[in-house]
Structure 1
Amino acid sequence: MERREVAAVLAYIGRLDSRTIRTDPGEARDQLAQWHELLHDVPFATDHGWDVRDAIRAHVLDTPYSILPVDVARKWRMYRRDRLDRHTDPTPTADPDDPAAWRAELLGTRQAVAIGTAAPSTHRQLTSGGPHLGVEDRLRAIGSCVPPTISTALAPYRPARAAREAAVAAGQPDALSVRCQWCHAREGEPCRSRRVGPDGRARGNAPRPTPHPTRLDLAAAELTRQGAA
């Protein structure tokens, strides 16, 4: 900020907190010099969310202490740090074979984001449109995100999942679609073998490759209810 902008900031603070007002010309001059020394690299406002008046108003509302120039400078540093943390360097348009131009454009973009004249650039992969045009056609042809050959190869390493898929393919009820009343396994989780010790506490909690019979009965009843509906 320039000196005239700092003077405007001090006048704004004086309207919100009269304790900061200096009536003596010498004290007012020293106050202006101090604030300008600490805030000369802090902008008055930017196009992307920073306004020094918002920082001042938040301080007056949040604390009973008079605002100091370091309070404003710290809020500006926090603003810059947050913007840079959300920024992902876009690929420069400069020639990659010209390292100086490449680096200059990269640093220039970061500086523009830091001072608030440009918005942070996020990951394009996360902000682009939907999936590739060929993905939906391929999913319709395969029928699943995981091809059948891959599911067959993974079956020995996930027996509960394999048994569930086989049951659904055969038209049988999906036991994992309901909660087990025996071991209290939630929907989508395999049943667990729980041994009860002499003190009445569970001694084992290993996952079972097959669901409990009561869970199968509940799943069958739910499937029948859905069919009747």
Structure 2
Amino acid sequence: MNPEQIPQLLKQVSYADPRILPEDKKEIAGLSALWAGVLADVPDQFAMWAVGQHYAESPFPIKPSDIAGRWRAHVRDRMNRHTGTLEPTNYPELDPDDVAGFMHTLRTERQAVIMGQQPPTPLAAIAGPDAVPANVQARLDAIGQYVPNHVREQLAAYRPTRAAREDLIREGKPDPLSVPCPWCEAPTGQPCRGRRITPGRDPEAKRQGGRAPHPSRLDAARSHPDAA
């Protein structure tokens, strides 16, 4: 909103709450300047809607922060439901190598979603044949947030245990770290450990920087309800 729109807003508010509008014109001008600064990013129609919502819920005089807070919540809600991936079918002319053009289009799309000129695009609307199956995604979520393949490959050298778990899941094999080990009592998510005083000399081989899971743990993983 701009300063010219605020007096009309205050007048509309005064119909529900006369306390909000001072009689002195100088006070109105000062109040308008203050409200305009707080509501600079808020559309005037939304501000009027927020006023109605406020007095439907509260008997207290409305403040500009009440309107601005509702606007921020509105923006968060719409953007949380929007993927912002610029689906190619909607932008056939967009060149992915044109960084400036891409950023301009992305900002324009987000602004349209925020202002209600375009509905949010949920993930289900852009998921193609390469989308992760629901049962696989559920198992991936159990060990952490899914990341794109190229990122996962770059991180594999720094987190070999997790990379090995993800590979097993994608191959449809049981993940031994999804269950505790009945032999060495290693908890879920932790690699098996030796039961000797000098675990580094345990005869079992190590797998990708960690100890190979004990056979009894593999059996437990295969019989787990979530196993592939």
TM-score normalised by L of structure 2? 0.49
TM-score normalised by L of structure 1? 0.49
Q: Which has the larger radius of gyration?
A: 1
